[in-house]
């Protein structure tokens, strides 16, 4: 059997993002590859239904309404557990307890609905939002957690990376060579068999003319994520806002970085570190990446680019 390759692309529908999945195989028929891709898309849709903050009847909404000790799904428990780990690991810069801050910034509706609901009035004032309340979330055995009153979370900082990673782990049970991309959260497994390359070529988004000669990286069995301030932005009360919330201020990030791309061993860590470095800003973000050996590509609003030593390993050498 020769190499079969099947790809599916869905524009701006799932998680208000573009979705792309491709599998290359010299062992499976095309109809089997297509079936596996469709099964993966079905899992992604179900995940979105369960954890979108724009629904009032799903697991995330019910979690945010309750307090005290409760049992949650395995998926939510895993995300909360990882979120706690990265909350501590990033010195509280990664913080899912920004739900109320997003509402304060006017991010009430989904991207496809235009973000703003002028009839909406936040139930809490900014001064009443406790940025450290996520510390009080406790994880017990058996998917049981203790949730403090007034803790409301948004999974936008981890959810996309989590589901991409989970789909990749499931897919690797049957296939070695594939790529999954949901809105810039990518897992590239194995090799590009169609191009006969021992890796996948990934073009970094949001580049400028000053760095467009360094826009191609080569990865294998790695997660990639890009965070930026332009994908989701709007004007609210006369000011431009975006979905990147700095938990230290409770406001949209306003700094010198345009976008951050990170390559890591998982899409989850790539997703989180890209957001953390963007929030920190250029100087602190570069220091953070270099001190921890994070492969990072920063594009600034002045069109300059800053590439960490670890990221340079992924550039073509020929």
pLDDT digit string (tens) for 234-250? 999 999 999 999 999 99
Distance of alpha carbon 302 from alpha carbon 258, whole angstroms: 9
Residue (of 297, 299, 292) closest to 311 by Cα position:
297
Average pLDDT value for residue range 82-95: 96
pLDDT digit string (tens) for 101-136? 999 999 999 888 888 887 777 766 665 678 789 999
pLDDT digit string (tens) for 170-217? 999 999 999 999 999 999 999 999 999 999 999 886 555 456 556 789
- The gap from C-alpha 63 to its chain's centroid, in whole angstroms, comes to 21
pLDDT at 214: 61
* pLDDT above 90 for 166: yes
Distance of alpha carbon 46 from alpha carbon 11, whole angstroms: 18
pLDDT at 207: 52
% residues pLDDT > 70 (the chain): 94
Distance of alpha carbon 29 from alpha carbon 8, whole angstroms: 16
Residue (of 40, 48, 43, 47) closest to 16 by Cα position:
48
pLDDT at 206: 53
Is there a contact between 125 and 134 (Cβ–Cβ < 8 Å)?
no
pLDDT band, very low/low/confident/very high, at 289 (cuts 50, 70, 90): very high
Residue (of 238, 240, 282, 237) closest to 259 by Cα position:
282
* pLDDT above 70 for 97: yes
Question: What phi-psi label fits residue 40: left (phi over 0), alpha (psi between -120 and 50 degrees) or beta?
Answer: alpha
pLDDT at 158: 96
Question: How does the average pLDDT of the chain come out, rounded?
Answer: 92
pLDDT at 128: 64
pLDDT at 126: 61
Cβ count within 10 A of residue 275:
26
Q: What are 111's two structure tokens?
A: 């991207």
pLDDT digit string (tens) for 270-283? 999 999 999 999 99
Q: What are 318's two structure tokens?
A: 């020929």
Exposure letters 73-104 (e unless 16+ CB within 10 A, then b) = eebbbbbbebbbebbeebebbbbbbbbbbbbb
pLDDT at 285: 97
Q: What are 248's two structure tokens?
A: 């230290």
Distance of alpha carbon 283 from alpha carbon 271, whole angstroms: 20
This prediction has a pTM of: 0.94
Distance of alpha carbon 133 from alpha carbon 113, whole angstroms: 30
pLDDT at 136: 96
Distance of alpha carbon 174 from alpha carbon 177, whole angstroms: 10
């Amino acid at each position: 059997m020769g190499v079969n390759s099947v790809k599916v692309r869905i524009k701006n529908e799932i998680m208000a993002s573009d979705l792309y999945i491709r599998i290359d195989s010299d062992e499976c028929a095309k109809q089997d590859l297509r079936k596996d891709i469709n099964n993966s898309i079905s899992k992604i849709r179900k995940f979105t239904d369960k954890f979108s903050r724009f629904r009032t009847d799903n697991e995330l909404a019910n979690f945010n309404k309750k307090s005290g000790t409760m049992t949650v799904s395995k998926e939510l428990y895993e995300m909360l557990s990882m979120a706690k780990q990265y909350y501590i690991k990033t010195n509280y810069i990664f913080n899912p307890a920004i739900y109320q801050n997003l509402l304060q910034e006017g991010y009430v509706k989904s991207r496809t609905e235009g973000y703003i609901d002028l009839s909406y009035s936040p139930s809490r004032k900014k001064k009443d939002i406790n940025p450290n309340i996520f510390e009080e979330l406790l994880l017990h055995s058996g998917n049981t957690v203790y949730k403090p009153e007034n803790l409301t979370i948004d999974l936008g900082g981890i959810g996309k990376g989590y589901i991409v990673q989970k789909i990749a782990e499931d897919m690797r049970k049957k296939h070695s060579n594939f790529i999954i991309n949901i809105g810039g959260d990518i897992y590239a497994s194995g090799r590009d068999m169609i191009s006969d390359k021992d890796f996948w070529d990934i073009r970094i988004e949001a580049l400028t003319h000053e760095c467009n000669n360094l826009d191609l990286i080569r990865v294998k069995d790695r997660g990639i994520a890009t965070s930026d301030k332009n994908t989701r932005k709007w004007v609210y009360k006369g000011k431009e806002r975006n979905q990147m919330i700095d938990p230290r201020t409770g406001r949209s990030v306003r700094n010198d970085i345009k976008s951050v791309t990170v390559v890591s061993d998982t899409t989850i860590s790539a997703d989180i570190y890209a957001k953390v470095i963007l929030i920190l800003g250029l100087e602190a973000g570069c220091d953070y990446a270099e001190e921890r050996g994070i492969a990072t590509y920063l594009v600034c609003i002045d069109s300059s680019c800053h590439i960490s030593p670890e990221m340079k390993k992924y550039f073509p050498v020929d």
